[in-house]
């Protein structure tokens, strides 16, 4: 039997984790042959609720689940973690300014970055889901001395999956027939879902769908999908976010398909004019736990303006947290 993999998850009592933890324990994250140990981090007032989730995990009698530990101390929760899913973050509450949100999360993600460096396993891989995800990831990455920056990522896979589904539906194709779609930039309303290199059933997407649909329907639909789900469902898109987190890590560890790529927010090396050091979403190929930014794609004027706008927002967020001394 394979050795168990330790997966640390924060925000364990929250909505996303109420889907996510059960998928991980069932084998959806690491495959049907890999046992998993869960280590859950929660804030002290939510420890009881996290215990309740652990009771339900026990009650599923998942054959692959080899233990659940719960803690309100980050270094304890991250002990030996091979994969860390940072889901918990401080939500924006009424009257809170953007600066308040960034500083509240700054305290959380500086501490978690340090704790990961201190306690996690050498092969650690980190996914940040909690918003503002790119900047929370930037903070954790910069505070995790000794952990290579390439081990950190933030989630734009839900945006990617949403875009794939919208394009497939419009084209009358299967989602599995869509490839080479990209989400650029920030996981926020400024993100740029880009079909200029996408392929649908062997044909360039730009020949399959019309330009006005892309500009006035597809792009805003993907950008505002989170709000549309809240409007329709009365609560946020937790299950699809959990599913995207599973997809993100599974693709990272097992690899992208030949001739295609995925979208991940990773540290920029300056590719496509994105300033070095920002955590921005790119077209990315993966293999055996390593990622590479796809190089050499043409960027037309329309795409250039949209990439620049979302990257400018990331640079603003970075400047704000840098000004607070969080990097």
Q: Give the residue numbers of the binding site for substrate.
A: 92, 98, 131, 162
Only one of the segments 26-34, 82-90, 146-154, 199-207 lies at the binding site for ligand NDP (rule: CB under 6 A); that segment is: 82-90
Q: How far apart are CA 201 and CA 115, in angstroms?
A: 45
Does the footprint of ligand NDP cover residue 198 (CB under 6 A)? no
Residue with smallest beta-carbon separation from ligand NDP? 14
**Of 238 and 266, which has the nearer Cβ to ligand NDP?**
238
Site map (CB under 6 A) of ligand NDP, residues 241-280, x = contact: x---------------------------------------
Kindly identify the residues of this chain, within the stretch 95-154, that bind ligand NDP according to CB under 6 A: 108, 129-131
Q: How far is CA 164 from CA 33, 115, 160, 183, 248, in A?
A: 29, 36, 6, 10, 14
Which of 160, 187, 197, 248 is catalytic? The answer is: 187
Rounded to a whole number of angstroms, the CA Rg of the chain reads 19
State the DSSP H helix or E strand holding residue 223, giving kind and residue range, or none if neither: helix 219-223
Distance separating alpha carbons of residues 278 and 297, to the nearest angstrom? 20
Q: Which two tokens stand for residue 82?
A: 């091979």
DSSP collapsed to 3 states, 153-195: EECCHHHHHHHHHHHHHHHCCCHHHEECCEEEECCCCCCEEEC
Q: b/e string for 253-262 if b means 16 or more Cβ within 10 A?
A: bebbeeeebb
Between CA 51 and CA 176 the distance in angstroms is: 38
Cβ distance to ligand NDP smaller for residue 21 or 181: 21
Binding residues for NAD(+): 11-17, 105, 112, 129-131
Q: Is residue 41 involved in binding ligand NDP (CB under 6 A)?
A: yes
Told to check if 76 binds ligand NDP by CB under 6 A, we report: no
- Residue 196: which residues within 8 A CB-CB, separation 6 or more? 205, 206, 298, 300, 303
- Known catalytic membership, residue 197: no
Give the residue, chosen from 6, 71, 82, 89, that forms a contact with ligand NDP under the rule CB under 6 A. Answer: 89
Is 10 or 310 the residue whose CB approaches ligand NDP more closely? Answer: 10
Backbone angles phi, psi at 8, to 5 degrees: -95, 135
Work out which of 7, 11, 161, 223 binds ligand NDP, going by CB under 6 A: 11
The residues of the shown chain that bind ligand NDP, judged by CB under 6 A, are 10-11, 13-17, 41-43, 46, 87-91, 108, 129-131, 158, 226, 236-238, 241
Q: Which residues participate in catalysis according to the annotation?
A: 187
């Amino acid at each position: 039997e394979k050795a168990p993999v330790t997966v640390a998850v924060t925000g364990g009592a929250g909505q996303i984790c109420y889907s996510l933890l059960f998928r991980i324990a069932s084998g959806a994250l690491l495959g049907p042959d890999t046992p998993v140990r869960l280590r859950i981090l929660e804030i002290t007032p939510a420890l009881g609720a996290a215990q309740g989730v652990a009771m339900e995990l026990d009650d599923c009698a998942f054959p692959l689940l080899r233990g659940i530990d719960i803690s309100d101390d980050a270094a304890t929760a991250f002990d030996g973690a091979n994969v860390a899913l940072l889901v918990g973050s401080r939500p924006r509450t009424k009257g809170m300014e953007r600066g308040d949100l960034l500083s509240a999360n700054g305290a959380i993600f500086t501490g978690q970055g340090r704790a990961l460096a201190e306690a996690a396993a050498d092969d650690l891989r980190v996914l940040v889901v909690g918003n503002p995800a790119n900047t929370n990831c930037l903070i954790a990455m910069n505070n995790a001395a000794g952990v290579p920056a390439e081990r950190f990522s933030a989630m734009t896979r839900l945006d990617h999956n949403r875009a794939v589904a919208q394009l497939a539906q419009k084209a009358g194709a299967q989602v599995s027939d869509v490839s080479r779609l990209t989400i650029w930039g920030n996981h926020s309303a400024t993100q740029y879902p880009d079909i200029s290199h996408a392929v649908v059933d062997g044909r360039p997407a730009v020949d399959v769908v019309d330009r006005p649909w892309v500009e006035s329907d597809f792009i805003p639909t993907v950008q505002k999908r989170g709000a549309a789900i809240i409007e329709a469902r009365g609560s946020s898109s937790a299950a699809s976010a959990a599913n995207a987190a599973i997809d993100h890590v599974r693709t990272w560890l097992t690899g992208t398909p030949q001739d295609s790529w995925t979208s991940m927010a990773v540290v920029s090396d300056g590719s496509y004019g994105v300033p070095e050091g920002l955590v921005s979403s790119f077209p990315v190929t993966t293999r055996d736990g390593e990622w590479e930014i796809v190089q050499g794609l043409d960027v037309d004027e329309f795409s250039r303006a949209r990439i620049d706008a979302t990257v400018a927002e990331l640079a603003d967020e970075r400047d704000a947290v840098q000004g607070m001394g969080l990097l």
